[in-house]
Chain A
Amino acid sequence: MNFSWWSFALQAANFLILVWLLRRFLFKPVSAIVARRKEEIARGVAEASAEKQKALNLQRELQAQRAAIEAERQKAIEEQGTQLAAERMKMLDEARADAEKIRNQATTQLSEERATAAQELFSRTIELAVNLAERLLRGLAFPSIERAFLTRVLDYLDHLSAEERAALVAHLGETALVVTTAHPLDAQEEAQWSEQLGKRIGAGGGIKFNSDSALIAGAEITLPSAVLRFSWRDALTTAAREINRNEHAG
């Protein structure tokens, strides 16, 4: 065995050259691609992290929007409820007012109708009473009763003052005095009426005599300026008027 220093030197040089060659064609490309891969992974991780953060931000934003929408919905519901309650109260108040108004109107109308009915009933009652009284009085009204009424007429005229009598007989000479009785007077009775009336109020124009059974009993003396009524008809009419007036006043 011998040792070749030339081979030793050449092998050493060969190895150093191989170190350079592999460093150039193997280790550097591998390190570069590994570094590039790490860089891309890091970039991918960073991008994923950014996307995740973006998604989280978006999620938070959506949650905030959802909460805002929910709050707005609740607020709208509450406002709507308040508005509906107010409108309901208003409608109830209006309905109550309308009902009260209708009730008042109905009450008023009912009262008026009741009053009218009562008035009609009362008037009808008075009318019936007057008719009843008239029928009763007709049964009592004999022709001879006219003399009693002549007495009442004369008594009335006797108690008039001078001014009242003057006013009563004014213009009497121009027209005739009309005496209307319930029963036709005979000649004697007419003469008696003419004599007595002529004594008290004159009657220069003459006296005319009529009869009207509607008077029931009594007489009416028609003067130019007034009509003197002394009959049961007038008494009944006056009584009915007085009763109605008292009823209305009450």
Chain B
Amino acid sequence: MNPSPLQTAILFHIGIVPISRTVVTTWGLMAVLSVASWIVTRSFRVDAGGWQAMVETVVAGIEEQIAALLNRDAAPFLPLLGTLFIFLVVANLCGIVPGVTAPTASIETPAALAAIVFLSVHFYGVRIQGVGAYLKGYLRPNPVMLPFNILSELTRTFSLAMRLFGNIMSEEMAVAIIVAMAGLLVPIPFMAFGILVGLVQAYIFSVLATVFIGGGIGAIKK
């Protein structure tokens, strides 16, 4: 049993690398998502059936949201941002399964995702605008704003991670406290509320990541 809900539980080590419960849960989610995607997409036909129609609707909806936010073709950004949204939905909601802890309730997962978003902003910005044009963006509206722009990059990444971690961790902790105090059935409304929170947080994280990347590529004013 964890001494603290904020403590990362180490299940085993591979060499010197400690493997935590969060990482193992993430591997499980990765396996589920990959196998489910493979099973569903291997039988894709032009005349879509029930599952295929649902999957296509979800993917097309994500692509339309990205295109609407970036005002451009969403295809180059779909793998990263689409995976981010799907992973966050699954990761946030897996906490309702008994015995499973949401990976996003551990600070390392939101921090890793936020770090990837941070790096993706620079990657796409340099790739699409070029190094010079991208770096000049930090001098606008005037060079005096350079330190503030850099600080803004760091703080928004930090806030992105902390927002997700705080919401999911606090929701799980609240459910755990209520279960410990009130029994089995009382936490159900809180768990339903947790579903809503998980979906909203996944959406907020994905939208903010899209907005940040849009700012990096010049599609959105910073």
A209 in the interface (beta carbon within 8 A) = no
B85 to chain A, nearest CB (A): 11
Contact of A1 among B6, B45, B52, B113 (CB under 8 A): B6
Q: Is B41 within 8 A of A29, CB to CB? A: yes
Segment of B21-29, B146-154, B190-198 in the binding face: B21-29
Encoded as 1 (CB less than 8 Å from any A CB) or 0, chain B from 200 to 213 comes to: 00000000000000
Give CA–CA (A20, B37) in the complex, Å. 12
Q: Is A10 within 8 A of B116, CB to CB? A: no
Query: Which residue of B has the minimal Cβ distance to A40?
Result: B46
A23 in the interface (beta carbon within 8 A) = yes
A140 in the interface (beta carbon within 8 A) = no
Also in contact, A30 and B59, with CB within 8 A (given A14-B30, A19-B80, A21-B33): yes
Q: Is A11 within 8 A of B109, CB to CB? A: yes
A3 to chain B, nearest CB (A): 6
Segment of A31-39, A61-69, A157-165 in the binding face: A31-39
Q: Is B108 within 8 A of A30, CB to CB? A: no
Residues of chain B whose beta carbon lies under 8 Å from any beta carbon of chain A: 4, 6-8, 17-20, 22-23, 26-27, 30, 33-34, 37-38, 41-42, 44-46, 48, 52, 55-56, 59-60, 75, 78-80, 82-84, 86-87, 103, 106-109, 111-113, 115-116
Q: Is A30 within 8 A of B79, CB to CB? A: no
Give CA–CA (A26, B86) in the complex, Å. 11
Give CA–CA (A26, B52) in the complex, Å. 11
Nearest 10 Cβ contacts at the A-B interface: A29-B41, A1-B6, A11-B112, A12-B112, A26-B37, A23-B79, A7-B108, A25-B37, A21-B34, A8-B108
Chain A residues, CB < 8 A from B115 = 8, 12
A to B CB contacts below 8 Å, 25 in the list: A1-B4, A4-B18, A7-B108, A11-B26, A11-B111, A12-B112, A12-B113, A14-B23, A15-B83, A15-B113, A18-B34, A19-B80, A21-B37, A22-B33, A22-B37, A22-B82, A22-B86, A23-B79, A25-B34, A25-B38, A25-B41, A30-B44, A30-B59, A31-B75, A40-B46
Chain A residues, CB < 8 A from B19 = 10
Q: Is B18 within 8 A of A27, CB to CB? A: no
B196 to chain A, nearest CB (A): 24
Q: Is B30 within 8 A of A3, CB to CB? A: no
Also in contact, A11 and B103, with CB within 8 A (given A2-B8, A18-B87): yes
Residues of A in contact with B, size category? 20 to 34
Also in contact, A12 and B116, with CB within 8 A (given A26-B41, A34-B56): yes
A16 in the interface (beta carbon within 8 A) = yes
Chain A residues, CB < 8 A from B59 = 26-27, 30
Q: Is A11 within 8 A of B22, CB to CB? A: yes
Q: Is A17 within 8 A of B79, CB to CB? A: no
Q: Is the interface of B mostly helix, strand, loop or mixed?
A: helix
B50 to chain A, nearest CB (A): 15
A1 to chain B, nearest CB (A): 4
Q: Is A14 within 8 A of B27, CB to CB? A: yes
Q: Is A30 within 8 A of B8, CB to CB? A: no
Chain A residues, CB < 8 A from B42 = 29
B139 to chain A, nearest CB (A): 30
Query: Which residue of A has the minimal Cβ distance to B6?
Result: A1
Also in contact, A27 and B46, with CB within 8 A (given A1-B4, A11-B26): no
Query: Which residue of A has the minimal Cβ distance to B13?
Result: A6
Chain A residues, CB < 8 A from B17 = 6, 10
Among B44, B55, B60, the one with the most A-chain Cβ atoms within 10 Å of its Cβ is B44
Extra contacts, 5 of them, besides A34-B56, A37-B46 (Cβ < 8 A), are: A2-B8, A11-B111, A21-B30, A31-B78, A33-B44
